[in-house]
Amino acid sequence: MNSNKVIVVAGGTGNVGTFLVASLLGSGATVVVPSRSEQKINDLKRHLSEQFNESSLNRLHAYQGNLSEENEAADLRQRIIQHTGEPDGVVATLGNLIPAPSLLEVGLSDLDNVIKGYLHAHFMAAKTFLPVLRDHGGNYVFINGPLALKPWKGSGAGLVSIATAAQQMLFKLLTQELEESRANISEVITYAFIRNKQTQPGSALTGEVLGDFVCRLSTGALNYAHGQTFQLRSSEEAKNLLREMEKS
């Protein structure tokens, strides 16, 4: 159980984020979710109320604010620390797909929006919370997708490939920069297919298994190397990897 752990989930109201929040709540952790949208916060609470009792939901703390704006991000961090305590871990699962049939058919504004949704958002989340973990210790987990590793064409995948490849370089650079600090940084590349807060048919990796894996990383339940990347293609692969890490 993680009754003494405070974990921030940036992007916790999203499809992947909802599974991460649920796993963390189920483990006993106190979960902090910052969001610009009050409606998304209410939707998250409504969704989780189907799985958890009031006592568990009392460990979910939502803060309305914009992590992508420096002044608001600093204010959010201060409010979180003041009311919930310094985080023991942070998970960043951020991004906004913009449908586009071809790179040559999108506008510069489309590219800007995808970069803001992925790279900009991850940069600001890291800039906001990594200094706390650097000084006091804790685990920071970047959530990324396979488009960062391989170019896929169509349906806006090209734009996401560009943004998430840059996001992975951000992860690598921060890992290098904070190598001697107390922060422990990792990256999870997830192949899960999740929409409408549900694992979709045909997805070899379920949201529940992904959530359990990330929960253990972010709470420090697993021993792993600073800067390590974990590719999770299926639930079986994730469970096998967990068993191997628990033995080490």
- Residue-wise DSSP of 148-198: GTS---STTHHHHHHHHHHHHHHHHHHHHHTTTSSEEEEEEEE---EETTE
Phi/psi of residue 27, each to 5°? -85, -5
Rounded to two decimals, what is the model's pTM?
0.96
Instruction: Determine the pLDDT at residue 78.
Output: 96
112 falls in which pLDDT band (50, 70, 90)? Answer: very high
Residue 34 φ/ψ, nearest 5 degrees: -85, 140
State the Cα–Cα distance between residues 58 and 45, nearest whole angstrom: 10
Handedness of CA 200, 18, 219, 227 (dihedral sign): positive
**92-106, 107-121, 177-191: range with lowest mean pLDDT:** 92-106
Angle at Cα 213 formed by Cα 208 and Cα 219, nearest 5°?
120
**Which has the higher per-residue pLDDT, 157 or 213?**
213
* Non-local CB neighbours of 23 within 8 Å, separated by 6+ positions: 208, 211, 212, 214, 215
Report whether 228 contacts 186 (CB < 8 A): yes
Q: What is the mean pLDDT of residues 206-211?
A: 98
Indicate whether 20 pLDDT > 80: yes
pLDDT tens by residue, 234-243: 999 999 999 9
